[in-house]
Amino acid sequence: MRQTSIGPSTSDAKTKTMQSPQIQTSLAESFTKGIAYEKSSKRWKEITRAITMYICKDMIPVYTVEKKGFRDLIKTLDPRYVIPSRKHFSEVELPRLYGECRGKLEQELGNVLYFATTTDLWTSRTTQPYMSLTIHFINDWTLCSRCLQTSYFPEDHTGEMIAQSLKEALQSWGLLEERQVCVTTDNATNNIKALQLNDWTRLQCFGHRLHLAIERGVKVPQVDRAVGVCKRVVLKPQDDDTQLTKDIKVRILNYLNEKYADQSTQELLDMASLLDPRFKTTYIEAERVDYMKVKAAAEMESLAAEQSKSAEGASLPPVEAAEEIPAKKKKKSLGSFFKIKSRKCQADPQSERESIEMELNSYLQTVEVDGETNPLEWWRQHEAYFPRVASLAKKYLCIPATSAPSERAFSTSRSQERIHLKLRPATPRAPAGYR
């Protein structure tokens, strides 16, 4: 009886081997795979930088690089890469990345003509104090916001110490105080005093003021149980409002009007409104419109003179004059004695101030813009028609209405605290704009 073969035949095995040949690794390749990258090699630098960016971007503790799971992951991805120590990242790679980011930001700020800032103070869970400073400016009609620093602030939180620290912060970034339009802060007494000592224009954080206004407005016995609902109230009076609702709205509006009634704040808000194509003179009191137009024209004239002076300073130095050669005297013909001198009939050139006022009036007479329009995008399209007004708009439309940008830096820090359990004052923090 013939037995049936269970396993594959020899010819089938040969065919299968021929169909899927196995590629053997050469001796040189096997040897190369076992050699670690040199620290000067391009590949080693790329991976090290990627890990450094990962630590910064995701705010990962530096000691992560010493954890076994992370090291196993890196080894699996590229066995030839030997990860440096935690000390190398904290003392070499992170400061180097911070230097690069700061250099880029300093280069960007070098082209900024006017800017606004926000600042705030915060204490961590371990009672370590920090101060943040953010900057806001318009570049190519794009509103740019950057966190300059969130630095350890161990000194007493007095107005004098805060004033000095803010001055030093601007100086460290090469920013001129006279280029700062205003500083937006909360209502803390020490912040207010600091800006007064520095003689800096201050804008009250509208978010804080609105919150306080609503709290004060709803302090009525009848609505104690409905505070949450009342905080969403719309302030514009409606025909169907109850008397209680009207009273609450009046209290809120009166509080806001009282807090924003000082002259410097009013002028700041009126100027920003005037230069916003959506509003112009709509929200400026009628008796103040002419005054604000005169003030805007004066500022534009000053800006034009400043830009002209800067252009002259940037021009090439004059070439030394060569010795003058006396011109050869020309003989006059008989007919030249009978020639009548032509009278200049050209009109006197229009003065710079008149040109500015005409441009400002033309801007104010432009077609009404929809309230949802992006004012910076509008100026991008109309800058060529109103160049002088546009220069002034870049100065005032960069002002933040709230101090939220500074507080946002602390919100990030709080998230970091939950991971790290504590913030280390000695650790430098890179500018947030480039995280």
pLDDT of residue 313: 63
Q: What is the mean pLDDT of residues 398-421?
A: 67
pLDDT of residue 334: 45
9, β-bridge pairs = none
Record the tokens describing residue 272, joined without a space: 């920003």
> What does pTM read for this prediction?
0.74
- The lowest-confidence range among 181-190, 358-367, 421-430 is 421-430
What is the side-by-side order of every strand in the sheet holding 180-185?
Answer: 142-152, 129-139, 115-123, 180-185, 202-204
Record the tokens describing residue 26, joined without a space: 């050469």
Give the type of residue at 232: R
Q: Indicate whether 239 pLDDT > 80.
A: no
Q: Indicate whether 272 pLDDT > 80.
A: yes
pLDDT of residue 231: 44
Q: Indicate whether 368 pLDDT > 60.
A: yes
Determine the Cα–Cα distance for residues 165 and 194; give it in Å rounded to an integer. 9
Give the type of residue at 329: K
Cα Rg, the chain, nearest whole Å:
34
**Host H or E run for residue 152:** strand 142-152
Determine the Cα–Cα distance for residues 191 and 204; give it in Å rounded to an integer. 10
Determine the Cα–Cα distance for residues 244 and 249; give it in Å rounded to an integer. 9
Q: What is the mean pLDDT of residues 208-226?
A: 71
With bands split at pLDDT 50, 70 and 90, how would you rate the model's confidence at 235?
Answer: low
Record the tokens describing residue 419, joined without a space: 């991971």
Determine the Cα–Cα distance for residues 305 and 352; give it in Å rounded to an integer. 10
Q: Indicate whether 86 pLDDT > 60.
A: yes
pLDDT of residue 154: 79
Architecture of domain 112-204+402-435: 2-Layer Sandwich (3.30)
> Which residue did the predictor score with more confidence, 311 or 201?
201
Angle (CA) 364 368 373, round 5°? 110
pLDDT of residue 362: 96
User: Left, alpha or beta for 141 (phi > 0: left; psi -120 to 50: alpha)?
Assistant: left
pLDDT of residue 181: 96
The values of phi and psi at residue 322, to 5°, are -80, 165
The whole-chain average pLDDT of the chain stands at: 81
Dihedral Cα 307, 310, 315, 319, nearest 10 deg: 120
With bands split at pLDDT 50, 70 and 90, how would you rate the model's confidence at 329?
Answer: low
Give the start-to-end residue ranges of the domains of the chain: 112-204+402-435, 206-261, 262-310+372-397
